[in-house]
Chains A and B, each alone.
Chain A
Amino acid sequence: MTTAIETGQTPEVAAPQAGATPLGRFVSDFCESRVAVGALAMLLLIALIAIFAPWIAPQDPYDLRQLDVMNGRLPPMAQGMDGQTFWLGTDAQGRDMLSGIMYGLRTSLSVGIGASFTALMIGMAAGLLAAYFGGFVDTLIMRIVDIQLSFPSILTALILLAVLGQGIDKIILALIAVQWAYYARTVRGTALVERRKEYIEAAQCLALSHRRVVFKHLLPNCLPPLIVVNTVLVASAIALEATLSFLGLGLPITKPSLGLLIANGFAYMLSGKYWISFFPGVALLITIVCINLVGDQLRDVLNPRLQK
């Protein structure tokens, strides 16, 4: 903020040639990094695969009638009993790994995104409340946030899952509990700066309701940093879910996410059957790296200090 003022540059005069609307400017700024555009394209592809998995996967990995134990633990590119090719090999039950990964992506992405967005909503509300009302509300909320952030995320999740038990709803709950504090802190920080500005004062002078000031005026101006934090936290939610599932604390075996697929392959690792763990891991890795790359570029684009 101060840098922009000191150097006399405002975001408006920053790139006048690059598109008239804010959205156009945002898009053209984002496209400056080819790596980020590539990562975004890859992410869209992954999302499409996850959404359309039931239609494009070679087999339904949950349908036991389609599985044949005789096809178990085949290496990549191997031919099955019925002559079909398993491009990425099969696991112990004769499940096609490619299909398993497509369905696993579906679970991993929906758990990660679902948990992260719910945490966003809760954290946003808490952060806005703390910043707007200040005083006791602020102290109370931020004290809880501070205490929670002083514990590492995996420990909080571990405590919750040890307490709650397993299941898809429980892991989502644990992820929300881990992440809401990050959002709350980010929103509060931005909102504290924004609420001292004239437009908030003006809105208050018009005697608009608290709700309207908070949601119509304050909230939209706090969104940019929130979007950046959100991309990073979606990636970390996916990674954390995979880790917890790997440890056997996450999702039930009936609905394997990528983490569980990797865990299933662990037992066969020592006999050299690498593909059962390797390929789901690669899928997980590509997803996380792409999200982080997009997040990095978003941070650069949305950061007023870095605007040329």
Chain B
Amino acid sequence: MLVYLIRRLLQSVAVLFVMSLLVFVGVFAIGDPVEILINPEADQTEIARVRTSLGLDLPLWRQYLVFLANAVSGDLGHSFAFSVPAIELIFERMPATLELAVTATFMGVLIGVPLGMVAGLMPDSRIGKSIMAGSILGFSLPTFWVGLMLIMVFAVQLGWLPSTGRGETRSIFGLEFSFLTLDGLRHLALPALNLALFKLSLTIRLSRAGTREAMLQDYVKFARAKGLAGKRIIFVHVFKNIMIPIVTVLGLELGSTIAFAVVTETIFAWPGMGKLIIDSINRLDRPVIVAYLMIIVFMFIVINLLVDLLYSVLDPRVRLAEAK
């Protein structure tokens, strides 16, 4: 187990290192940020001075070493545009993205599991078939276009819900959250629904397949034979058992929900990390781009590592296959 753990950790560090090199060298190949930051009437000495103060006059490998040394101590550079540490900028935006992603996941479960169970209990009925058709549509619809259509219908035509920003927020432990105020909830509704759409389709499929499988199991037969009411069998026995894979998959999907939030945040002007990265790419704010990519890569590596370790604890076969 220890050998496996060490090998797995080393691999994670290697991936992180390769990614940092790739991202750093790549990002520094695009454009010259000085041209954007500086007053167009500035003379050569002024440009040179800015270049030196930003550390852009050093050779690339020196810049990378400086970056790496700072990164290890938690400093990912200062934003060119805002002159604040890039990492601070990202952590400031992170609660908004997490709030959106978690709300979307819950929405997917709350709507998707009942629909999927209905489809699983009567797979050949008209309702079951239309739920499945809906879930195929949910997989096919491009997220950004659905977002636009949601704005079109609910914000422009009907005027029920706002389409931009977070609305009124309330802070707990120094972090701002929208879901605690009515206005915030109204702002949260459309973006969360938009982001939830894919999870919803996924949950419907998982819970339908799970329900169909569970209904054939011995424990359901036994519960029937015991004379339990159909409702109790479905809501207690079947429900509990189908939730295991759903929770696992959605937990794993949380990372990709955060990544896909980039699209939703751009459409709904939700001030999260995703909008920050798109804005920073357009602004050529290199330290923020690099910091965002490093943080999100780091997040994924940690999530993947935890999942792998958890699996190897739960299933000894995984460990044995790795040890060979």
Contacts and interface: CB of A to CB of B under 8 A. Distances in A.
Interface of A: 143, 147, 150-152, 154-155, 158-160, 162-165, 235, 239, 242-243, 246-249, 259, 262, 265-266, 269-270, 272, 274, 277-278, 281, 284-285, 288-289, 292-293, 296
Interface of B: 11, 15, 19, 22-23, 26-27, 29-31, 136-137, 139-145, 148-149, 151-152, 155-157, 163, 255-256, 259-260, 262-263, 266-267, 277-278, 281-282, 289, 293, 296-297, 300, 304
6 contacts: A150-B300, A159-B293, A160-B26, A247-B266, A278-B149, A288-B142
Nearest to A242: B142
B142 A239 contact: yes
Q: In the complex, which of the residues B11, B15, B155 has the most CB atoms of chain A within 10 Å of its own CB atom? A: B15
B140 A243 contact: no
The B interface is mostly helix, strand or loop, or mixed, namely helix
A208 to B, nearest CB: 31
Contact of A163 (B23, B140, B263, B267): B23
B143 to A, nearest CB: 7
A269 B260 CA distance: 22
B23 A155 contact: no
Contact of B282 (A248, A270, A292): A248
Contacts of A293: 136
A266 B304 contact: no
Contacts of A274: 152, 156
Given A147-B15, A243-B263, A281-B145, A163 B163 contact: no
B255 A152 contact: yes
Residue picked from A262, A269, A296, most chain B C-beta under 10 Å: A269
B289 to A, nearest CB: 5
A303 B143 CA distance: 30
Given A248-B282, A269-B148, A269-B151, A158 B262 contact: yes
A291 to B, nearest CB: 9
Contacts of A246: 144, 263, 266
A194 B62 CA distance: 51
Contacts of A150: 300, 304
Contacts of A242: 142, 144-145
